[in-house]
Amino acid sequence: MVADAVRHGETRFSNLGIGWSHTFGERNLLQAFGVIGDRDVHQSLDRIDDIGPYRVEQETEEQTATVGVSHLYGIGPVTLRYGAETGRFHTHDSAIYTDLLTGGVFFVDRFSDKGNATRGYTDITWDVSEDLEFQGGVYVNWLEDVTDDCPCVDPRIGVAWSPVENHWLRAFYRERHAVFIELHACPGLDRRADAS
């Protein structure tokens, strides 16, 4: 028998960033950004299992720094967006197991990880007409840390069609590998056929 109950949990995120953009002309935009971030998670979990009643105090601290640059350029009905982002992360995890009957600590688990993540991307949108749009792209992710080196390629394709004014039908296929870069200048969900 295993019974879990979270007694207390707290997560705190903080980010500090700066961005810059320059418009060269209509649909010709260069952007750059830098962000540092901090995430702290504290959780206390009471468990009852074959070991008996015990508490697990878990703490996770993560610091990140990310920079990126992107360029958007439009020619007629085609819009091209490409860019690159890179970041560094450092994570510390700890878990302290305490017997609830005796109050004694019987196990301590600590883990630390650091590494780099890089993302390069190209995304193209083709506005065939006012009611039909295609989008495709490829994202290449590299993750280097103590547990894994991951060169991953994520394709995506999407279509948006408006059979009636102000109504859109969308379909897409995408693959996505999780890398720690969460703040980015990649094409977002603000586009009609966006597959990101």
Q: Which residue has the tokens 């970041």?
A: 87
SS3 77: coil
Residues 48/62/84/28 CA torsion (nearest 10 deg): 100
Per-residue pLDDT averaged across 64-82, rounded?
A: 96
Which sequence spans correspond to the domains of the chain? 3-174
Burial 168-194 (b: 16+ CB within 10 A, else e): eeeeeeeeeeebbbebbbbbeeebbbb
Average pLDDT for the chain: 86
Say what the pLDDT of residue 51 is.
Answer: 81
Report CA 191 to chain centroid distance, whole Å. Answer: 19
What tens digit of pLDDT does each residue of 10-31 get? 899 999 999 999 999 999 999 9
